[in-house]
Structure 1
Amino acid sequence: MSLELKSAASDDVLADLNRAFVAFKDTNEERLAQLETRLGADVVTEEKLQRIDRAIDETKRRLDRVALDLARPRLAGAPREDDAAREHKSAFALYMRAGESAGLKALESKALSAGSGPDGGYLVPTPAEQEILRRLARLSPIRAISSVREISTASLRKARATQGPATGWVAETAARPQTTNQQIVDLTFPAMEIYAMPAATQTLLDDAAVDIEQWIAEEVQTAFAEQEGAAFVGGSGTDRPKGFLSYTTVADASWNWGNIGYIATGVSGGFAASNPSDALFNLVYALRAGYRQNGKFVMNRQTQSTIRKFKSTSGEYLWAPPASLDASATLLNFPVVEAEDMPNVGADSLSVAFGDFVRGYIVVDRLGVRVLRDPYSAKPYVLFYTTKRVGGGVQDFEAIKLMKFGVS
């Protein structure tokens, strides 16, 4: 499909999404009117609202797919390569198609690489690695909104001041009181190994028209994105990144460094019956102004479906569909990021996060994606054991706040 046709398709999907949301609002208004005049809403109206709600979610998924297609140039259109890059690409293609590794061995020996065929596989060419990381940024929701650092060592270490030296105003000739000591913590973010194992037929590998680098990027993107998404949200920090929900959480009034503060809805497993949106405002304003200006909501589709019904005191819906292809849905005028690994609403669940994730969460990529060819384990298919190293964790505990669906 041409770029013009894809752009036209995106406009059509965006229009469908806006029409669906208008229908959603009309049906919800009908439901609310029934609640005011009867003992309960009509079953038919409830079912209609649920169907429209599902249609909004499905249309948003279509919009996301169109946006991804528009942002997916072929590797063949990459900038002109130098001689070394062309040599690596040619040797990598020969290894992938025929299992011939001599060329890659020579290249990696020349580059003093620690990897080898038997124990680590071979580095994919740089354009293919960049394509994989670019696609992950589109598919992995937390990666897309966080700070990302590339490293060449096993871990990233950062020193962060949790309390700076005391400061103040003094007269020109007044005594200067001694300031308190600056408190600095050492943060370490190790890079853990993540893998995928796509399979190919020999017929596909023998087809000269198939772009091998493009194929490997397409095959591993979803597997890597799903594993990353789960780890960045709820990862334990053991053999995988540590998710922001895995840190100790405390009521925001008792917050201190090293913990993540939460705001309670006041109701176990839900919002308050009256003025439920107050909890959202409390969450937003729990964040300091310096972080709030770049704030984003993070929740899954089910939670978003519940919040989509909330209105302001003037009758306006707090949730709004995206205004353009490259925009997000908004809540209280802040972008909404859909992360399906966020928990559903339940007793004491932490189902909504709000914060400046660029300052709050860091994703660490160790340079290099490796591929090990295995033609033996699943004959007649050829398996490609593909690995990369990635880490992550909270780097600023003030920048993220959570909503707890509990009494306190």
Structure 2
Amino acid sequence: MTVGAEAGLVETKSADISMAIEELMYSFEAFKDANDQRLKEIERRSVADPITTEKVDRLSNALDEQKRLVDAIALKNARPPMGVDTVASSAFSIERKQAFEAYMRSGDERKLRTFEEKAMSYGTAADGGYLVPDETETEIGRRLALISPIRSISSVRRISSTTLKKPFATTGIGTGWVAETASRTQTTTNTLAELSFPTAELYAMPAATGALLDDSMIDLDAWLASEIETVFAEQEGTAFVSGDGSNKPKGFLAYTTVADASWAWDKVGYIATGAASTLATTDPTDTLIDIVYALKAGYRQNATWVMNRKTQAALRKLKDENGQYIWQPPASAASRAMLMGFPVVESEDMPNIEANKFPIAFGDFKRGYLVVDRAGVRILRDPYSAKPYVLFYTTKRVGGGIQDFEAIKLLKVAAS
């Protein structure tokens, strides 16, 4: 690709993002005008005109669609173009990639076996396939971080074993003040416990045609990453939110929950909405303020809201005591929508606003939730099961769970 072509591509991407952001901001202004009219009608007649309500809902749905368009453009622009060589310059990496590509295209595994003998870190067919080159694995991980909502805001640890065991202190080390020459009493030893994060196997099976594999212009690394990124991200997203920990990560909603006033370690604290099946009927923003300040200041500085789009649509209609909308659209493709000054992450795996559900999470997920990746993405070529297509059985091992129970708070739809 020439310098001029690259410059033109950058300008085109920038124009696409700018146009999408401009349309999003325009739609939000139209939404605010319609919602203000709805609120005035409720004040005058205790009920809004159905036509006005329908207009507000339609504009709210349009905002959701335009926000997804902005995210899609940002993700597309972050991808390397097909056919661009992103392989490391070392001879070993180039030869390893060539051997892997020969296996992908024709099933020729002789060169891969040679590399296996030279470097035992690479997988064997007996173990279920061959490990993809490091560059491909890195690209898959990068794409997952872009589109997997919880992974994008959590801590990620890469390990070589099947389980990560992490010690933590349940009681702090004893401290105190003392004069320079006064005797010191022995400090108490802190009590340690252990958190365990086992990894489970996540798989996908993209299919390719013979024509695609024969096309030497197709970058198979980029094709593989693009084929599995969405399905891996969807499976991960569900598990990180609500997974039960059985052959999958344990989601932050799967832990024992307790009213925040009674919070204890190994439980997740929640604030109730004050209404049995909805947000608070009067001053609903007060509950959101309560959940913000349920977090300690050290966690609050880096906190993020997590909710699905239906919940976000409900909060989009709310105003603070000064009459300002508490939800604000993203200012750029790289930024997120803001709620009360904190970024919003949209996760469709979060429940809706219903009785006894937890539709909103708020916290410092970098400190609160840990994603564990076992090194290595494995590929097994299968040209027999779905002729004339070639299947690529792709697996990776992933785990996850809460590592700091103080860092995440929930909103529960309940009277108390």
User: TM-score w.r.t. structure 2 length?
Assistant: 0.96
Compute the displacement of 1:120 (Å). Answer: 1.3
| Alpha-carbon distance in 2 for matches of 1:30, 1:38 | 12
Partner of 2:61: 54
Task: Tell me, yes or no, if structure 1 residue 11 matches structure 2 residue 18.
Answer: yes
What is the 5 A alignment of 1:205-354? 205-354=213-362
Say which SS state the counterpart of residue 393 (structure 2) adopts.
strand
Task: Tell me, yes or no, if structure 1 residue 376 matches structure 2 residue 384.
Answer: yes
Task: Report the residue type matching 1:364 in the other structure.
Answer: V
| Alpha-carbon distance in 1 for matches of 2:185, 2:296 | 29
| Alpha-carbon distance in 1 for matches of 2:372, 2:117 | 26
Cα deviation 1:240-276 (Å, max 9, x = unaligned): 0111111111111111111111111111121111100
Cα deviation 1:288-309 (Å, max 9, x = unaligned): 0000000000000000000111
Tell whether the 8 Å contact from 1:231 to 1:240 is kept in structure 2 after alignment.
Answer: yes
Cα deviation 1:163-190 (Å, max 9, x = unaligned): 2112121233444344333121111111
Partner of 2:72: 65
Task: Report the residue type matching 2:254 in the other structure.
Answer: S
| Alpha-carbon distance in 2 for matches of 1:79, 1:215 | 15
Picking from 26, 30, 37, the partner of 1:30 is 37
User: For residues 122 and 166 of structure 1, do their structure 2 counterparts lie closer, same or farther at Cα, with a shift above 3 Å needed?
Assistant: same
Higher mean C-alpha displacement, 67-76 vs 343-352: 67-76
Say which SS state the counterpart of residue 368 (structure 1) adopts.
coil
| Alpha-carbon distance in 2 for matches of 1:93, 1:78 | 14
Say which SS state the counterpart of residue 371 (structure 2) adopts.
strand
Higher mean C-alpha displacement, 107-116 vs 207-216: 107-116
Picking from 130, 153, 177, the partner of 2:161 is 153
Cα deviation 1:335-366 (Å, max 9, x = unaligned): 00001111111101011000000000111111
| Alpha-carbon distance in 2 for matches of 1:80, 1:382 | 28
Task: Report the residue type matching 2:60 in the other structure.
Answer: D
Tell whether the 8 Å contact from 1:165 to 1:182 is kept in structure 2 after alignment.
Answer: yes
Tell whether the 8 Å contact from 2:122 to 2:131 is kept in structure 1 after alignment.
Answer: no
Partner of 2:9: 2
Structure 1, unmatched stretches of 5+, are none
Cα deviation 1:111-150 (Å, max 9, x = unaligned): 1147322441001111111110000000100000000111
How many residue pairs get aligned? The number is: 408
Backbone CA RMSD of aligned residues: 1.3
| Alpha-carbon distance in 2 for matches of 1:378, 1:325 | 40
| Alpha-carbon distance in 2 for matches of 1:180, 1:279 | 39
Tell whether the 8 Å contact from 1:7 to 1:70 is kept in structure 2 after alignment.
Answer: no
Task: Tell me, yes or no, if structure 1 residue 407 matches structure 2 residue 415.
Answer: yes
User: For residues 239 and 310 of structure 1, do their structure 2 counterparts lie closer, same or farther at Cα, with a shift above 3 Å needed?
Assistant: same
Tell whether the 8 Å contact from 1:101 to 1:117 is kept in structure 2 after alignment.
Answer: no
Tell whether the 8 Å contact from 2:88 to 2:135 is kept in structure 1 after alignment.
Answer: no
| Alpha-carbon distance in 2 for matches of 1:321, 1:122 | 44
Task: Report the residue type matching 2:203 in the other structure.
Answer: Y
Higher mean C-alpha displacement, 179-188 vs 386-395: 179-188
Partner of 2:148: 140
| Alpha-carbon distance in 2 for matches of 1:321, 1:162 | 40
Cα deviation 1:60-101 (Å, max 9, x = unaligned): 000001111121124735264211111110111111110111
Compute the displacement of 1:109 (Å). Answer: 2.5
Partner of 2:48: 41
Say which SS state the counterpart of residue 350 (structure 1) adopts.
coil
Tell whether the 8 Å contact from 1:269 to 1:348 is kept in structure 2 after alignment.
Answer: yes
